[in-house]
A and B are shown apart, each in its own frame.
Chain A
Amino acid sequence: MTAAPPRPSAAAPRPYRFPHFERRTLSNGVRLVIAPVTKLPVVSMIAVIDAGAALDPAGSEGLALLTARMLVEGSAGLAERAERLGTELDVDADWDTALLNLTVLSSRVDEALKLVGEILTRPSFPDREIQRLKGERLAEILQLRAEPRGLADEMVERFVYARDARYSHPEGGSEASVASLNRDDVLAFYGARYAPDRVTLIVSGDVTPGDVETMAEAALGGWSAKGGAPKAAVPDKVARQTRAVHVVRKADAPQSELRVAQVGVPRSHPDYFAITIMNAVLGGLFSSRINLNLREKHGYTYGAHSGFDWRRAAGPFSISSAVQSDVTDKALAEVFREIDRIRTEPVSDDERSLATSYLDGVFPIKYETASQIATALANLVIYDYPADFYDQYRANVRAVTAGEILDAAKRHLDPSRMQVVVVGEPDAVAGPLERLGVGPVATYDDNGRPL
């Protein structure tokens, strides 16, 4: 064979701008954000409603999710009608907001918008369907006991937040809180949280702003509900200040689901870009330190990563991996070594530029589809970003320095108060974890009750 052709060098980058979008407001106060993108005959919509799980009253955790799901599930035949338009009405509540999501061919936007109007303004809450959805949520809670990844994530929130903080209870509620919910709760939550001035409708894809405004006015403009006052929630109170190891029993598990976590920072934190780059070097990319260490150097795992769960209030920061049971202690020692390293030494220029050039370069690839664009615009609404947030994003990423990364690591990662969660076989992992000496080791059943 002939010699290999030389490695090519990059051409000049071609210009790219985040899609242009327009804002409008309907006569009743519903806000619109519209991004016309001509590519394929596809349109995605997201209705963002200020009715997220952080607003659940204490003891009624799961109410926001139940209410959101009832919007579609409450009316017989509604899901089928949407599906005959070729779309699925997906309504859910996350921590910050309730979200109605759909993607439809552009020829059917008008009909789809009518359904959106019907769902938001004239929902039906029959008790039979409320009881059914409660039963489905309780089934989900039961199944999670045997699903180690989801269980580990749930335990992280339980151990890093104080018990009176909303974030320490599952987004969809616990067994006791879900069991207590009734039809009056749903009616009250809907009445207080679903109103025109709490809704933003985002439409992106093969549409024109004028058409969308006309159709949306017809579908939603007659809605005149008045919501209650927003609750000032403090969902992110920190639980404990010292490091501890929590082993949650999964008998005979061949792997340990490992988490090392602490309370992170709110999305609006001024260090957002430095934190993002710091995390990319630590564990946010395939080529980042934790994955190369645990997977490519040691073969302990199929993958390891770290991430800040961004929310309006401070979501958790968590390092996650599933490691072979008999190396749980060794893997944990490597994780703490990496945390110490990023907090004490400046990252190399190679590592910093890998992270910044990835996040800068991949920017257009993140917004290829109507649905991705709508999601980006939803975040603009949820986190109250300035209108030019996406236009400034790449420059902000590129500007982060090694000094800022070190500062961000020192300021926002505190290994002395991180909580370690291991879902695995206690007989195999508890002893070695004790000997590792990172903190007191306690063992729990799969409901988080101490053993």
Chain B
Amino acid sequence: MRIPIETFTLPNGLRITLSEDHTAPIVAVNLWYHVGSANEREGRTGFAHLFEHMLFQGSENVGSNEHFELIQRAGGTLNGSTWLDRTNYYETVPSHQFSLALWLEADRMGRLLPAMTQQKLDTQRDVVKNERRWSVDNQPYGTWWERLPALAFPTTHPFHHSLIGSMEDLTAASLDDVRQFFATYYTPDNAVLTIAGDFDPAEAKSLVDRYFGPIPRGRGKPPLPDLSLPERFDNPPREIVPDDVRVPRVYIAFRSPPFGSDLYYPASVAAAVLGLKKGSRLHRSLVRDQQLASEANAFTFDLAKGSDLLIADVTARPGVSAETIERAVVAEIDRFMTEGPSAAEGERAIAIIETEFVAKLQSAGDRADTLSMFATYLGDPSRINTHVDRFHAISTSDVARFARERLGSAYRATLVYVPRSPEDAEVEAADLVGANT
């Protein structure tokens, strides 16, 4: 498999990747802005994401909600998302509607502010507060998204604070914040654009030049502080959270090598050996053999700056205490540190990673997003073609060394959810266990 790639850069700094594929009349347009919650100023947690919502509220030549309507009327799909260190916007459209998607992205990159109003900001603030209630506050274990990074990154670190933001900070966000954030971060030199699918490259270049060429370069963004961190904790942090849940869940997070770095690959395989799918160590031991857990996973966040997180999460079976499940998870991690992976375990992990990566690239939208990711994080979209090779190039001893050196008790941040009213949970749990035996 080889994904074709052509790259060029406009004088205003916008970097473009083209990737042709004519198997279906579909084109994906994908923009990554190199800004995320890490760039928020104090007192404005959640602003990068609130701002993402504002980008669907129209621009100089596009009415509010018209972006959605135009793309859907064209037979396309679209959305956007915000992460700690980037924000993306994307459309997949029938090929003959390709110029519309590009034009819409250019209008909001170049001319967003004339469409911004206080009323739109107030409505989207309410929508985002409801998104917070929906995904965090009213969801069992839903606060892990903010508690775990808060535990694993120090208070002053840009990855420490909540991505969705606090209600107070969302309330405080103003139109002036919108103007400043736009001027600082939504500039062509802070973005990458990827076009993947069934298009003519000469036409694409001419449209990109015409639509994005006149947008002026930014004045530069404030640099992030040094994001690198010691791998080891001085005092390994732990937090116990009583929540409206029926069974305990344990999260253990490790500071791990940034996405795309040489050490990322053994770290990623280590996570997969531990907790990717049913053949993984945590699943086989805790779910299948000991029957202490109902679910067990491990994965990396894939953060590309300073420090990534490798996370294991395990949900207890009813009737199994938080102490028991935590002890069992720790024992598995300790055993993995001592034994390292077998050749078969390494093979299994890499085979799944490869199939998932290749299968994902079948879709034009995912292909464009992956190219944008490599372009944004590593400055090189062609890494898409060597990513799988890098996994094949590492050995089980690389993974064993990573496990030995980086997964010890001094490297663990531990977050434990326990049922808020233990009496209720125990009664129900006893019923269920009784029914089972």
A residues contacting B by CB (< 8 A) are 1-2, 4-5, 7-8, 10-16, 37-42, 79-80, 82-88, 103-105, 131-132, 134-136, 138-143, 145-148, 175, 178-179, 250-255, 257, 285-287, 292, 295-302, 322-324, 353-354, 357-358, 360-365, 367-371
Contact = CB atoms under 8 A, between A and B. Distances in A.
B94 A139 contact: no
B65 A296 contact: yes
Nearest to B142: A147
**Interface class of chain A by DSSP:** mixed
14 contacts: A2-B214, A4-B61, A7-B100, A11-B96, A12-B96, A42-B359, A88-B278, A146-B244, A175-B432, A253-B138, A255-B138, A299-B127, A301-B127, A324-B133
B282 to A, nearest CB: 13
A187 B126 CA distance: 53
A4 B60 contact: yes
B285 interface: no
Interface stretch (B148-156, B177-185, B350-358): B350-358
B429 interface: yes
A362 B77 contact: yes
Contacts of B277: 79, 83, 88
| Interface-centre pick from B99, B277, B355, B359 (highest chain A CB count, 10 A) | B359
Nearest to A87: B355
B126 to A, nearest CB: 3
Contact of B138 (A7, A135, A148, A179): A148
Contacts of A105: 354-355, 358
Contacts of B247: 139, 142-143
A287 B72 contact: yes
A323 B126 CA distance: 11
Contacts of B354: 86, 105
Nearest to A370: B362
| Interface-centre pick from A5, A37, A147 (highest chain B CB count, 10 A) | A5
A131 B317 CA distance: 13
Contact of A368 (B1, B364, B431): B364
Contacts of B436: 131, 134-135, 138, 179
A132 B436 CA distance: 9
A141 B432 CA distance: 10
| Interface-centre pick from B135, B354, B358, B437 (highest chain A CB count, 10 A) | B358
B26 interface: yes
Given A147-B140, A302-B134, A369-B363, A132 B344 contact: no
Interface stretch (B82-90, B103-111, B258-266, B399-407): B103-111
Contacts of B218: none
A105 to B, nearest CB: 6
Interface string B320-344: 0000000000000000000000001
A255 B110 contact: no
Given A40-B361, A135-B291, 15 more contacts: A2-B214, A5-B106, A13-B25, A14-B198, A131-B437, A139-B317, A142-B429, A143-B245, A175-B435, A285-B72, A287-B72, A299-B124, A324-B130, A361-B97, A370-B359
B1 A40 contact: yes
A132 B288 contact: yes
B358 A292 contact: no
B169 to A, nearest CB: 17
B146 interface: no
B94 A255 contact: no
Interface string B63-81: 0110011001111110000
A146 B134 contact: no
Contacts of A131: 436-437
B100 A10 contact: yes
A368 B73 contact: no
Contacts of A140: 294
B126 A299 contact: yes
B414 interface: no
Contacts of B94: 13-14, 361-362, 364-365
Contacts of B205: none
Contacts of A250: 138, 244
Given A8-B100, A253-B138, A365 B92 contact: yes
B107 A4 contact: yes
B318 A142 contact: yes
* Nearest 8 A/B pairs, CB to CB: A361-B75, A299-B126, A86-B351, A80-B279, A179-B435, A86-B355, A14-B25, A79-B278
Contact of A360 (B75, B107, B216, B355): B75
Interface in B214-239: 214-216
B122 interface: yes
Contacts of B246: 142-143, 145-146
Contacts of B106: 5
B380 interface: no
Contacts of B23: 37-39
Contacts of B130: 255, 299-302, 322-324
A15 B25 CA distance: 7
B424 to A, nearest CB: 10
Contact of B73 (A2, A358, A370): A358
Contact of A41 (B68, B69, B215, B358): B358
Contacts of A323: 130
B348 interface: yes
B212 to A, nearest CB: 10
A105 B318 CA distance: 38
B165 to A, nearest CB: 14
Contacts of B211: 5
B138 A322 contact: yes
A90 to B, nearest CB: 10
